[in-house]
């Protein structure tokens, strides 16, 4: 779709949000598509650059962590006039079944498991929606609904 004299992504950076909202829907649709493509391209380029940096510094960072006696965390690598800060975050996952068994053991031993573990209860929205009213009514006071960030897509209508 070609629209003469239309606003570009570069143009909108200096415009107020009200002026952007006043644009014709065709312009908003094109801008949204262009912004999505630019973001996807930027993410691909960022991933590519991150891969190159990891290729260049990954082995040095691993060795620096090993020398520091750690498998994860942040190390600093000197390279000329620069310092590369390499962070490898720790990602801990707990086996929920084993934790539940340990909580039962702690409780059976007469201790309070809340002193050792945090317990969070969740309910699937799909399950909640399928429950009979006798059950969902009992759970309703414990349920809070918050709205997320709105998102919009603009598509061309299909003509029949």
Is the pLDDT assigned to residue 108 strictly greater than 70?
A: yes
Give the pLDDT mean for 135-149: 90
Helical segments of 68-158, H only: 96-108, 125-130, 133-139
Express each pLDDT in 18-34 by its tens digit.
Answer: 999 999 999 999 999 99
- pLDDT score for 115: 92
What is the sign of the dihedral through the CA atoms of 32, 33, 34 and 37? positive
pTM over 0.75: no
The first and second tokens of residue 126, run together, are 């799909």
Annotated domain spans of the chain:
9-88, 96-142
């Amino acid at each position: 779709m070609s629209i003469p004299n239309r606003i570009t992504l570069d143009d909108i950076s200096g415009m107020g949000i009200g002026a952007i909202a006043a644009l014709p829907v065709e312009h908003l649709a094109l801008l949204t598509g262009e912004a999505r493509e630019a973001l996807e391209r930027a993410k691909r380029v960022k991933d590519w650059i991150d891969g190159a940096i990891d290729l260049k510094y990954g082995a040095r960072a691993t060795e620096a962590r090993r020398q520091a006696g750690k498998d994860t965390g942040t190390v600093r690598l000197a390279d000329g006039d620069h310092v590369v800060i390499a962070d490898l975050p720790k990602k801990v996952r707990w086996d929920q079944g084993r934790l539940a068994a340990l909580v039962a053991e702690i409780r059976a031993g007469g201790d309070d498991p809340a002193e050792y573990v945090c317990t969070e209860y969740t309910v699937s929205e799909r399950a909640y929606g399928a429950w009979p009213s006798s059950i969902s009514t009992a759970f309703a006071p414990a349920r809070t609904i918050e709205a997320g960030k709105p998102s919009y897509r603009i598509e061309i209508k299909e003509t029949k």
